[in-house]
Amino acid sequence: MRRTPGATRLVATTTASDRTGPPVARPRPRRDWWIPTSLLALTFVPVVAGAARLVDLSSGRTSENARFFDLPVPVVVHILGATTYCVLGAFQLMPSLRRRRPRWHRWSGRVLVPAGLAAAVSGLVMAVSDDLPVHDNAALMWLRLVFGTLMAVGLVLGLAAIRSRDVRGHQRWMARSYAVAQGAGTQAVVLGPMVLLVDQPGGALKATGMGFAWVLNLAVAEWLVRRSQARQSSRRVW
């Protein structure tokens, strides 16, 4: 097929125009490092408190740690499991890292699910096995049982969802479980100033503050994951 001079000139003109035209703006990658950074900051106090508890238990039985020293296995399992789950899980909730490193997301999930289940189940054991501390009451015990069960069930349902290729369901249940696990960090924010400025809150006030922290975490997690999924759906439509 012969190429006409006019066609040749047109191609050359178009090519030159493309070269000299304004550069096409490319969308900047979203910087979502604030997600793991804020979650790690939230879990800082519980992690430090857990490490201090392990050091305290290793030094022997005292009147202050007697209730933990008499039941050491659930305490140690809970601290190690919760620390692993909260620290490593902070990066699981980072969308850009999930997209760039899907294999890392899957393999770290195989560590997170057992760690989260260990933290949840050991927390349930401690809730029903320990004598109630002076500043706790029955309402707080039941709150721990309810939210600990929710965390464990969420992990199981999240695992079942991804095995069924239900990515949206997997994300929602995993976010809910992680929100419960991060309850200790939010509880430190809610009750910490009261402890520093006044005194240890009584049973009713402590139960109210801890329950509020768990509910707040769940509400924020639900809103964030649904907003993220809505954005993903809108991008697919366009």
Is 117 inside any structural domain? yes
Domain with 139 in it: 33-230
Mean pLDDT by 10 residues, the chain (238 residues): 46 44 48 86 93 88 77 92 95 83 89 96 88 74 94 96 93 95 92 74 82 95 86 63
Looking at the domain assignment, is residue 201 inside a domain? yes
Residue 194 belongs to a domain: yes
Query: Which pLDDT score, from 0 to 100, does residue 24 have?
Result: 46
Q: Is residue 132 part of a domain?
A: yes
pTM, two decimal places: 0.80
Asked if residue 20 is part of any domain, the answer here is no
Q: Does 26 reside within a domain?
A: no
Q: How many domains does the chain have?
A: 1
Token pair listed for 147: 């939210």
Q: How far apart are the first and last CA of the chain?
A: 39
In a domain? residue 235 = no
